[in-house]
């Protein structure tokens, strides 16, 4: 219905009201009609005002609708080929997001490559914008920096050429040890003896080769665990539990031949789970996942696969906390910290089911072009990640990417904990006591937002499991003081909040 017809209707309504009024209140009408005349006068005034208000409301609604736009996303790449991000793009399109250019106004920047050195405007990121990497994430994903960190679950490594003397000394003391030399580009890896190592190769490192891997049908393999970091200082980290990426070497490990890299290096043409003989029945016939098929095989060997996953969580947790200070130092240069990071930790298992870390990938491959069955893994993973960080389907006018972060979902009562402590310490009068640090009245604005985001993430985890702050498997034996004594003040503060939530609601324990 157009504007002119609306105006005609309003005028017609007014004319009809005047006609009725003239008939009841005109000359010659009797005294009993005085009341009727008064009533008609009031009704006429009300109808006229309603007609005007309705017309104004209609104009305002139409104007508002025309101004509302769905959230926008941009893709950052060093080249124009975005085929490997097909599932990311499809997922965002299905959520109702519109793609724009990197230099346009966007709500989400999905960067396949590290964007911060190329896009300096990210230092002044507006509060409604979100980026899928943390500044400084290279402290985790740079292979040289990570593998030479001397963490106990990393095979011994030496940075070259700076640590060549230490490497030669170690090699002399361990004459049976073999090594691989790696660069940040992770290309041309091959087992070498100490004499074959290029000691003067810049931006490289040499790493001990673990010679007794756990094998499945004779094949060496690695496992890829998807990790999402949603906050640094304090740290919040989740792992994807929907499945784990298992990649098997195409050639059997024995008889071992260092010249045949397909025996010990997982490449692009790896052997997938559904083609490994002992795993086919579990994966193809009985509908298992890659992880559950592998676990079934381990149990067939009279071993316990449950030994593996606590090690995996410990390795990821320890690695990220070890790099937190470095990343925090970079973050100080940024106005807002609206970042998250989806990465994949690659690990392997020795024959005693001890887990070792290989590397962390900044932008893990999410393309199923090579292996079509991986499509479901990537789609479900992305659905969990999107929901966790606040990227949710857009449908209603006025809805934005973060519109669900309101008091309808997260109110004060959802954040308040340990009320007895707050009352006994008179935290409503003074916030100077340490015991008051989690009391609602003592929270600073930034702290309130941190707890609000933590609450939002917990409600929208889907298949993501929180590993930092550490899950509480048994509240009766969990020692909160022991857990927090070596943490930074902010990490200890957030850990105590989760602990308080867990005390009254077991769903918050893990």
For residue 62, name the pLDDT band (cuts at 50, 70, 90): very low
Question: Can you name the CATH fold of 138-143+213-361?
Answer: D-amino Acid Aminotransferase; Chain A, domain 1 (3.30.470)
User: What percentage of residues in the chain have a pLDDT greater than 90?
Assistant: 75
Q: What is the pLDDT of residue 57?
A: 47
Q: pLDDT by residue (tens digit) across 187-220?
A: 568 898 888 888 887 778 899 999 999 999 999 9
The predicted model scores a pTM of 0.85
Q: What is the pLDDT of residue 38?
A: 57
* Per-position b or e across 78-110, b if 16+ CB within 10 A of its CB: eeeeeebbebbbebbeebebeeeeeeeebbbbb
Contact in structure between 404 and 387 (CB atoms under 8 Å): no
For residue 344, the cross-strand partners are: 226, 361
Q: pLDDT by residue (tens digit) across 77-117?
A: 988 889 899 999 999 999 999 999 999 999 999 999 999 99
Task: Give the Cβ contact number of residue 463 at 10 Å.
Answer: 18
Every domain of the chain and the residues it spans: 3-67, 138-143+213-361, 156-209, 412-508
User: What percentage of residues in the chain have a pLDDT greater than 70?
Assistant: 84
Judged against a pLDDT cut of 70, whether residue 400 lies above it is answered with no
Question: Are β-strands 108-111 and 72-76 bridged in parallel, bridged antiparallel, or unpaired?
Answer: parallel
Q: How far apart are CA 429 and CA 426, in angstroms?
A: 6
């Amino acid at each position: 219905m157009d504007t002119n017809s609306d105006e005609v209707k309003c005028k017609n309504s007014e004319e009809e009201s005047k006609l009725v009024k003239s008939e009841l209140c005109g000359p010659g009408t009797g005294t009993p009609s005085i009341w009727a005349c008064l009533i008609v006068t009031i009704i006429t005034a009300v109808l006229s005002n309603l007609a005007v208000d309705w017309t104004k409301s209609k104009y305002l609604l139409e104007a508002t609708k025309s101004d509302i736009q769905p959230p926008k996303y941009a893709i950052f790449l060093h080249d124009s080929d975005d085929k490997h991000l097909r599932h990311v793009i499809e997922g965002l399109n299905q959520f109702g997001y519109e793609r724009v250019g990197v230099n346009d106004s966007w709500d989400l920047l999905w960067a396949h490559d590290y964007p911060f050195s190329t896009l300096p405007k990210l230092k002044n990121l507006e509060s409604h914008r979100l980026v899928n990497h943390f500044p400084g994430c290279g402290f985790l994903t740079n292979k040289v920096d990570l593998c030479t960190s001397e963490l106990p679950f990393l095979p011994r490594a030496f940075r070259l050429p700076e640590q060549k003397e230490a490497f030669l000394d170690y090699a002399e003391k361990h004459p049976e040890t073999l090594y691989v030399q790696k660069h940040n580009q992770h290309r041309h890896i091959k087992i070498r003896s100490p004499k074959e190592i290029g000691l003067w190769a810049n931006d490289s490192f040499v790493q001990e080769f673990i010679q007794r891997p756990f094998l499945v049908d004779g094949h060496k393999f690695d496992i890829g665990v998807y990790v999402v970091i949603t906050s640094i200082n304090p740290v919040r980290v989740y792992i994807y539990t929907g499945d784990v990426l298992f990649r098997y070497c195409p050639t059997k490990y024995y008889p071992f031949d260092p010249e045949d890299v397909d025996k010990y290096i997982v490449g692009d043409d790896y052997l997938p789970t559904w083609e490994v003989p002992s795993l086919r029945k579990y994966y193809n016939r009985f509908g298992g996942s890659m992880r559950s098929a592998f676990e079934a095989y381990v149990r067939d060997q009279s071993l316990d696969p449950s030994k593996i996953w606590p090690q995996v969580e410990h390795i990821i947790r320890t690695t990220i906390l070890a790099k937190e200070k470095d990343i925090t130092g970079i973050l100080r240069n940024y106005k807002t910290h609206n970042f998250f990071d989806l990465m994949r930790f690659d690990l392997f298992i020795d024959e005693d089911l001890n887990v070792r870390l290989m590397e962390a990938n900044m932008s893990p491959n999410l393309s199923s072009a090579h292996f079509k069955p991986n499509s479901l893994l990537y789609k479900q993973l992305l659905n969990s990640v999107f929901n966790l960080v606040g990227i949710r389907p857009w449908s209603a006018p006025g809805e934005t990417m973060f519109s669900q972060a309101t008091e309808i979902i997260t109110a004060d009562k959802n954040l308040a904990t340990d009320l007895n402590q707050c009352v006994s310490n008179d935290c409503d009068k003074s916030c100077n006591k340490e015991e008051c640090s989690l009391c609602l009245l003592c929270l600073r604005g930034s702290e309130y937002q941190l707890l609000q985001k933590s609450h939002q993430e917990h409600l929208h985890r889907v298949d993501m499991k929180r590993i930092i702050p550490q899950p509480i498997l048994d509240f009766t034996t969990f020692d909160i003081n022991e857990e927090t004594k070596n943490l930074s003040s902010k990490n200890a503060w957030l850990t105590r909040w989760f602990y308080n939530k867990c005390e009254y609601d077991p769903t918050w324990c893990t």
